[in-house]
Amino acid sequence: MGKIIVIAPHPDDETLGCGGSLLKHKEHHDEIYWLIVTSMKEEDGWETSEVEKRRDELNEVSNAYGFKKIFNLDFPTTKLDLIPINALVTSISKVVDDIKPNTIYIPNRSDIHSDHRKTFESAMSACKSFRMDFIKKILMYECLSETEFASSLQENAFSPNYFVDISKYLEEKINILKVFKSELREFPFPRSEINIRALASYRGATANVKAAEAFVLIKEIA
C-alpha cells in the first residue's frame, strides 16, 4: 500500500490535474492525502456565504476521494507571491514529514498563476531527498486554464513523459469537478466539461488508451 499526497494551490487543482489518478490510488487501497495551500477567508474579503460554500465543497470532494486527511495551510489565495518562501517551505515540509508519502503530486512550475509557481518552488524545496528519503516519486501535473496559458517559450513547455490510464475513472473525475460549481463554465471556457474530456482524450491517444492524465516525472527512485 502506497502513501500519496497531492499538493494543490487551490481546491479543484487536485481534481483537474490528477483526479483520475487519485481515484485509481483509492481503488488500489493506497492512503491518499490532500494538502491545500490557500483558502478563502472573510478577513481577505470573501463573503461568508462563499467561505461556507467552499467548506461544504471540500467536505464533499474529500468524501468522494476518501482522503485519509486534509491539510489546509490557510495562506491567502492569489497572494502567495507576497508570502516569504521560507514560510511556505516550512509549512509544506511539516506536513510531508508528518505523512511520509512515497509519491507526491505537485503543480506545473510554469503555470500562469503565481500561486501555482510558488507552490511548485516551495514543494520542491521541501521535498529534497536528503531530508525526505521516503519520497520515491515526484510528479508534476497540468491544470487547465493555467498550464496552457503560460507564455509560449521553450522553457515553459509542459512536455509530459508519464501517463496514467484513467479511462475507468473519467466520469467520476468530472462528477467531482462539478462539485466546484463556481469553477466550471460552458465551453469554450478552459475549465468546461467538453475541454476536460478533450484533454483526457488527447492525452489518452498519446498513450494508446481512451483517457489519460499526463505528468512530468520530476524524480523517481527505484
Q: What is the pLDDT of residues 128-162, one digit of tens each?
A: 989 999 999 999 999 999 999 999 999 999 999 99
Q: Indicate the burial class of 1 (C-beta count within 10 angstroms; 0-12, 13-18, 19 or more).
A: exposed
Please state, in angstroms and as integers, the Cα–Cα distance from residue 63 to each residue in 66, 116, 164, 179, following that order.
Answer: 5, 25, 22, 12
Is residue 184 over pLDDT 90?
no
| Alpha carbon distance 93, 107 (integer Å) | 16
Residue 206 has pLDDT above 80, yes or no: yes
CB contact at 8 A, 149 and 117: no
**pLDDT digit string (tens) for 22-54?**
999 999 999 999 999 999 888 877 888 888 889
Q: What is the pLDDT of residue 189?
A: 92
pLDDT at 183: 85
**Each residue of 53-81: pLDDT tens digit?**
899 999 999 999 999 999 999 999 999 99
**What is the average pLDDT value for the chain, to the nearest integer?**
95
pLDDT (0 to 100) of residue 51: 86
Which domains, and CATH codes, for the chain? Answer: 3-166+214-220 (3.40.50.10320)
The model's pTM: 0.96
